A and B are shown apart, each in its own frame.
Chain A
Amino acid sequence: MMLDVQEATVRYGAITALHGISFQIAEGEIVTLLGANGAGKTTTLRMLSGLHAPSSGSIQFEGSEITQVKAHDFSAMGISHVPEGRRIFPQMTVEENLEMGAFKRNGGYHDDMGRMYETFPILKERRKQLGANLSGGEQQMLAIARALMAQPRLLLLDEPSMGLAPMIVDTIFRIIADIRKQGTTVFVVEQNAAQALRLADRGYVMENGRIVFGDTAQNLLHDERVRAVYLGESVEG
């Protein structure tokens, strides 16, 4: 297992956000985490990127314990986080944003920059523009490209489709599939269940801070409970 989460509990003061969740991600997979608002999806990602340490339980990445690792050490370890709401550097150009992504690497990242421009041709066009002046979809692509500049083995995506037009969402999801083909494991948290399940190999469903069940994406797509709650279809129909 690449990432192995066992019985992780996260508390915000007196409130328990995650009640001992367990799940695994194998190398080369795309795994998705589904759930309604407030189910604990973002908290799970914050925990996985060191922004909020679990109060109990363990997280193992490639066999080593990472529960107490600080957020800023994650990128050097091989886990990149694309935060919710994109969070690119607004006053830096696209190029500078990409350079920041390689902050922890020593020299020689210009090949990677070229590869990013191949994957995201629109970013090459906008190379000298400020992050603030990009459209939402371009910003999302920049955020993903910036995360990839750290050469992660595991990429964490928080709501990549948020606030984007359906056409752009298609593009983004196609790119995520490409990224996996190039050998990066992807963990994606999504509200757009139908699209996420079509992309992913496996999925987990969260409710009220617990993982209620997990299965292959195919099975989940045909699961009655998932269809009823997340795909907006009635059980009878």
Chain B
Amino acid sequence: MRAFFRNPFVRRFSLCFLVVELVALMTGPPGSTQAPTAGFRGSFFEASSFYGLFRTQRWVVFFALAIIMFLVWSGWLNKGASIRSTATKALAVPRAVTQRRPVRWSLIGVALIVALLLPRIVNDAFWHSAMTEQIGVFVLLATGLNVVVGFAGLLDLGYVAFYAIGAYTTAWMTGSLPTPAPFHGHFDPFVAIPVAIVIVMVAGILLGAPTLRLRGDYLAIVTLGFGEIVTIFANNLYGITGGSQGSGPIPHPVLHIGPLHYVWSLKPVPYYYLLLVFLVIFLVAFSLLEHSRIGRAWTAIREDEVAAESVGINPLKYKVMAFAIGASTAGFAGVVTASQSNNVFPSSFTLQSSINILVLVIFGGMGSIFGVVVGAIIIQVAYSYLLHTPPQGYQSADLYMYLGALLVVMMIFRPSGLIPSRRRKREIVLSEAGEGHMDEVLTGDTP
């Protein structure tokens, strides 16, 4: 009997069957709306209840599923290695192509034109507001956080605090808070943009200077605390921020240069273009920064802080710089959100949103500007799509279940993100040439 279970095939199949049975237990009886998978329409779960085909013999289905899973597993064991290497080689081809200058520039050009025409291509009120509030703003936030997490390697769990400070600065400058505006003026949100960016960068320096001496987990905890402090302050300082009631109405920005006169309104599309302009500016600035002296210093600190110090890099200075520069996009995003949605509430700046932004960065590929932008777009489009046409039984909290599963799968198969940074690409090329083991390189193990 023991020998029978020692047989690898029998053992593998029993494991498959166990997993499938576990799923069967989790999904509950046919037609159940309690089960977490009840949201899948048209799936075989629904079919099994609807057509009554497998109503009594559900185990038949699961047995069949177990067999399929067993076959996939066995196939992977046999052919897995060659599939993996073929996949790496296949993936290296588009990489090699896009690395060529003209190809890359034309790709960027096409992306820019598509982005410019997008409100005309997708002519739908819901998607217009989604591409501004959900996609545009979060792409900006993710590119900013990427500087902190991806370039400098600092885990920041309180990034949303900078977003909140940017939004509240707008409310303050336009005179929408209980506190009087500076110089008793009611400034245009446009004026608030540079002020918010500066204030947020100062906040980054103030937070960074004392805390960036900490490393790793300790830094994450402190930044998490900072995020919470800002939200709690916003919630409780009734006299200054308006507390949980939020701010008064914030005016829309007005552009007034010579004969040019443009008034933003509640419509999201003009805000989309405003975001796009600043996004392009930030992206260009960050990619220049990545390859500058500062960017190299960040890489050095991320890889080995002691070694960085020994070649003359002041780690604290460059880390604070990363914090301040990363915060700047959040400041701008705060201005746009505040003036577009007309008001600011503390409840929009929670730990949840900090983590959401971090997920965008990790999904896209830490340290890769292009990857983070694409990753953020994919996740935010999926999120908006689920809001737009929710599957039956879908609740907004379900998203996090799917996101969690997505991240787990990502960590197994593509730990460096959807589109890894160039440094990672080179490592994959190296491992293909047989010079070094890929996994060792990816996990950063040093002998």
Show the binding face of A for B, using Cβ within 8 Å: 49, 51, 70-76, 80-83, 87-93, 96, 99-101, 103-104, 129-133, 136, 139, 146-147, 150
Contacts and interface: CB of A to CB of B under 8 A. Distances in A.
Q: Which 4 A-B pairs have the closest CB atoms?
A: A75-B312, A104-B312, A133-B436, A87-B307
A99 to B, nearest CB: 7
Interface in B311-356: 311-315
A150 B304 contact: no
B309 A132 contact: no
A210 to B, nearest CB: 26
A136 B447 CA distance: 8
A75 B444 CA distance: 27
A98 to B, nearest CB: 10
A96 to B, nearest CB: 8
Interface stretch (B21-29, B63-71, B268-276, B293-301): B293-301
A80 B309 CA distance: 10
Q: Give the interface residue-count category, chain B.
A: 20 to 34
Q: Interface on chain B toward A: helix, strand, loop, or mixed SS?
A: helix
A133 B304 contact: no
A136 B299 CA distance: 22
Contacts of B304: 87-90
A87 B430 contact: no
Contacts of B446: 90, 131-132
Given A49-B310, A87-B306, A100-B311, A133 B430 contact: yes
Contact of B309 (A51, A136, A146, A147): A51
B426 to A, nearest CB: 7
A81 B310 contact: yes
B124 interface: no
A49 B426 CA distance: 34
Given A83-B306, A133-B441, A136-B447, A91 B311 contact: no
Contacts of B444: 90-91, 132
B79 interface: no
A121 B75 CA distance: 47
A72 B315 contact: yes
B440 A132 contact: yes
A197 B368 CA distance: 49
Given A100-B300, A133-B435, A89 B307 contact: yes
Contacts of B308: 72, 100
Contact of A103 (B311, B427, B435, B436): B311
A90 B312 contact: no
B398 interface: no
B423 interface: yes
Contacts of B299: 89, 91-92
Given A91-B444, A133-B436, A70 B314 contact: yes
A82 B427 CA distance: 26
Nearest to A71: B309
Contact of A92 (B293, B303, B312, B441): B303
A91 B435 contact: no
Interface string B426-447: 1100100001100011001111
A115 to B, nearest CB: 18
B99 to A, nearest CB: 15
A166 B423 CA distance: 34
Residue of A88, A103, A104 with most chain B CB atoms under a 10 A cut-off: A103
Contacts of A87: 304, 306-307, 310
B435 A129 contact: yes
Given A89-B303, A92-B303, A133-B435, A72 B427 contact: no
B151 to A, nearest CB: 13
B306 A72 contact: no
Contact of A101 (B293, B311, B315, B435): B311
Contacts of A88: 304, 307
A132 B436 contact: yes
Contacts of A49: 310
A76 B307 contact: no
B22 to A, nearest CB: 40
A96 B445 CA distance: 19
A86 to B, nearest CB: 9
Contacts of B307: 83, 87-89
B313 to A, nearest CB: 6
Contacts of B309: 51, 71-72
A156 to B, nearest CB: 9
A92 B352 CA distance: 35
Contact of B311 (A51, A93, A104, A133): A104
19 contacts: A51-B309, A72-B309, A72-B312, A74-B310, A75-B312, A80-B310, A91-B299, A91-B303, A91-B427, A91-B444, A99-B296, A100-B296, A103-B300, A103-B311, A104-B311, A129-B435, A129-B436, A130-B430, A146-B311
Interface string B234-263: 000000000000000000000000000000
